[in-house]
Amino acid sequence: MQGTETESGNDLSRSTLAADQTVPLSERAREGSSWQGGTRHAYPESHIEQAEIDLHLNAWLGRLTGNISPAALAGAWQDWASHLLLSPNKLLELGTQAAVSWQRWLHCGAYPVQPLAQDKRFNGPEWHAWPYRQISQGFLLTQQWWHRATTGVRGVSQHHTDVVSFVARQMLDSLAPSNFLASNPVAQRIAFDSGGRSLLNGAMRAADDARRMLSRAPAPVSFRPGKDVAVTPGKVVLSNPLMELLRYDAATPTVHEVPVLIVPAWIMKYYILDLSPENSLVRYLVNHGHTVYMISWKNPQAEDRDLSLEDYRRLGVMAAIDAIVDGEETTRVSACGYCLGGTLLAIAAAAMARHGDERLASMTMLAAQVDFTEPGELSLFIDESQVSFLEATMWQQGYLDTHQMAGAFQLLRSNDLIWSRRQRHYLLDIPDRHNDLASWNADTTRMPYRMHSEYLRKLFLNNSLASMRYIVDGRPVSLNDIRVPVFAVGTLTDHVAPWRSVYKIVHLTDTEVSFLLTSGGHNAGVVSPPGTPGRTYQVASRAHDAPYLDPDSWQEQTPTHEGSWWPAWQAWLASHAGGRRAPPPTVPGIDAPGTYVLQA
């Protein structure tokens, strides 16, 4: 089910979408085409029932496999195994390495294997005593051997190498001695000291987690929107079938002329940028004289299955800009997009530039990609087989639930998010720490079938935006048309939008780009208010006609600053926000955070 760029459905009206929602796949096929996998496909009537059987089967399998395609895994394994059998030198090397590892394990006191710096599983003096030293050393040596076995096999595609190595690592991590009471001396000591209470508490937590997983109940949320988070005073100034537009007035006697529009990702609820007051980017901006607008996306239901990327652009970004310009009596807006919201903003900005729409004063991209050739470890779960498999689940439900994506994101950092958590939670009697960011992470959302299929195929698989093949209003758009100043933020340890991928906007646009690299990951690196300990950042600007500088050279040449990156961005934003003026009149309406953010 390859996507195409000529039949994107960009001109579909709301009435057409509403009508399509009530027409079964088989009926739409009889009309000559049907929406399937992010594009329009013609199905002969005789094959419709067979296609639906395939989709139902794949959706059922997806429930058993966590939406990981068995065919994708089998293809990767076959590629690796067959080429390994055709590499006698590699087999000899692995045999030699096994013998060396055996000798090292017998003499592990003399030649210890050190875990990676981020691997904290075997910390503690108890792991240095017999027999636990031998157990942990045996595991680390086995881990080393499997890494060598699954990498560097001549003829295996890089994607399949990454997949096989990743699967081997997951299997080994699940069998780590730190996961089991019988082989974890720290857990044994705590159990002995507590008289077994630590194990009782762990069993109760495990039972509660299992009950919640089987019943698909949401994780408990300690911080509630409008009560503990998302409490910056504001009003809903626009509501449509896809989003609510929130306005936050500046908290200063005079305000910057150009307001700020923030476009968050629809894979998350907007209030990650308006967490508790001390962690709120919105509050920080209004306290520095900016009028801030924020899009709060609807949490889609099954009936929203046919919402498209074009709907998100038109009813989201463009509707918000129209409302701001009309309501503020201003001619320009500074726009900021986070994650998927940044990608959508870039599409909108390119289309605006093509049409001569000059209402953007500047554009900020927070951990947002526009080129998907190097999307990082997330690409392990995105290929033709995997996307087709995932589409079956979305086709059946009408949406993709965040719970169904959580497994993939957790596997990318399984040591931290799965096994280490279970070790702390079940064996060591260490309860989860609740904070506003963790509570937001548990407040899950959904994504419409059509939109997410388009996103995966057009952007991830086909890289249509960066290659000037992404269609808006019947014609492709080019990022090179963007002329407004750009501020792009990458985060150093981002697993979702790797900073080197984010950096590509520097040479994909023909404008001045200021690139900032901050410490932290995809979420914690962005939520980095002044006063957060241990934060650093690098920032440098590039003129539109400057020669290309690769990301590693940029990182090496750019000085590092201590502290939060927020003040540096706010200063840049203010420099493109015009003069100061009296605050705009207050507006009536529903109080922020509105109603969409409260949808379960």
Cis omega (within 30 of 0) for bond into 131: yes
Predicted confidence at residue 450, as pLDDT, reads 94
Angle at 486 between CA 271 and CA 263, to 5 degrees: 25
Q: How confident is the model at residue 160 (pLDDT cuts 50, 70, 90)?
A: very high
Contact call for residues 427 and 182 (beta carbons, < 8 A): no
Contact call for residues 144 and 101 (beta carbons, < 8 A): yes
Catalytic residue among 59, 187, 245, 339: 339
If one counts every other C-beta atom within 10 angstroms of the C-beta of residue 589, the result is 17
Helices (H), 376-496: 384-397, 402-412, 414, 420-422, 436-442, 449-454
- Rounded CA gap, 368 and 103, in Å? 48
Top pLDDT among 324 and 396 is at 324
- Rounded CA gap, 410 and 238, in Å? 36
Q: How confident is the model at residue 404 (pLDDT cuts 50, 70, 90)?
A: low
- Tell me the one-letter amino acid at 567: P
DSSP, res 356 = T
Predicted confidence at residue 111, as pLDDT, reads 67
- Rounded CA gap, 402 and 404, in Å? 5
Q: How confident is the model at residue 2 (pLDDT cuts 50, 70, 90)?
A: very low
- Rounded CA gap, 127 and 185, in Å? 7
Contact call for residues 66 and 406 (beta carbons, < 8 A): no
Contact call for residues 407 and 56 (beta carbons, < 8 A): no
**pLDDT tens profile 357-386:** 999 999 999 999 999 998 877 788 888 988
Residue 5 has pLDDT above 60, yes or no: no
Residue 118 has pLDDT above 90, yes or no: no
**pLDDT tens profile 271-300:** 999 999 999 999 999 999 999 999 999 999
Report helix, strand or coil for 108.
Answer: coil
Residue 419 has pLDDT above 90, yes or no: no
Cis omega (within 30 of 0) for bond into 593: yes
- Rounded CA gap, 540 and 488, in Å? 10
> C-alpha distances in angstroms, 18 versus 97, 400, 423, 492, 578?
62, 19, 48, 43, 42
Which residues 6+ apart lie within 8 Å of 275 measured at CB? 223, 229, 230, 436, 437, 440, 527
If one counts every other C-beta atom within 10 angstroms of the C-beta of residue 475, the result is 10
DSSP, res 274 = B
Largest CA distance in the chain: 78
Nearest to 244 by CA among 573, 574, 594: 594
Region 143-160: what's the mean pLDDT? 95
Q: Is 336 designated active site?
A: no
Predicted confidence at residue 259, as pLDDT, reads 96
Indicate the average pLDDT of the chain: 87
- Rounded CA gap, 180 and 207, in Å? 17
CATH class of residue range 235-598: alpha beta
Q: What are φ and ψ of residue 262, in 5° steps?
A: -110, 125
Top pLDDT among 127 and 114 is at 127
Q: How confident is the model at residue 416 (pLDDT cuts 50, 70, 90)?
A: low
Of 146-160, 210-224, 243-257, 479-493, give the lowest mean pLDDT range: 210-224
Tell the residue number behind the tokens 């159990």, with chain if given. Answer: 191
Tell the residue number behind the tokens 């626009």, with chain if given. Answer: 238
Residue 14 has pLDDT above 50, yes or no: no
Predicted confidence at residue 538, as pLDDT, reads 98
Predicted confidence at residue 134, as pLDDT, reads 92
Q: How confident is the model at residue 19 (pLDDT cuts 50, 70, 90)?
A: very low
Nearest to 175 by CA among 121, 251, 101, 211: 121
If one counts every other C-beta atom within 10 angstroms of the C-beta of residue 28, the result is 18
C-alpha R_g of the chain: 26
Of 45-49, 153-157, 221-225, 478-482, give the lowest mean pLDDT range: 45-49
- Rounded CA gap, 385 and 125, in Å? 46
Predicted confidence at residue 438, as pLDDT, reads 85
- Tell me the one-letter amino acid at 203: A
Region 333-339: what's the mean pLDDT? 97
Residue 71 has pLDDT above 70, yes or no: yes
Predicted confidence at residue 268, as pLDDT, reads 86
Of 49-63, 457-471, 583-597, give the lowest mean pLDDT range: 49-63
Token pair for 216:
């698909």
Contact call for residues 181 and 187 (beta carbons, < 8 A): yes
Predicted confidence at residue 198, as pLDDT, reads 93
Q: How confident is the model at residue 408 (pLDDT cuts 50, 70, 90)?
A: low
Region 495-507: what's the mean pLDDT? 94
Which residues 6+ apart lie within 8 Å of 195 measured at CB? none
**pLDDT tens profile 538-597:** 999 999 999 999 999 999 999 999 999 999 999 999 999 999 999 988 888 899 999 999
- CA end-to-end distance (rounded Å), the chain: 32
Predicted confidence at residue 23, as pLDDT, reads 35
CATH 3.40.50.1820 boundaries in the chain: 235-598
Tell the residue number behind the tokens 């901050």, with chain if given. Answer: 518
Strand duo 360-366 + 235-239: pairing: unpaired
| Residues forming beta bridges with residue 399, ordered by sequence position | 448
Predicted confidence at residue 352, as pLDDT, reads 98
- Rounded CA gap, 185 and 168, in Å? 25
Of 16-25, 208-217, 253-262, give the lowest mean pLDDT range: 16-25
Q: How confident is the model at residue 417 (pLDDT cuts 50, 70, 90)?
A: low
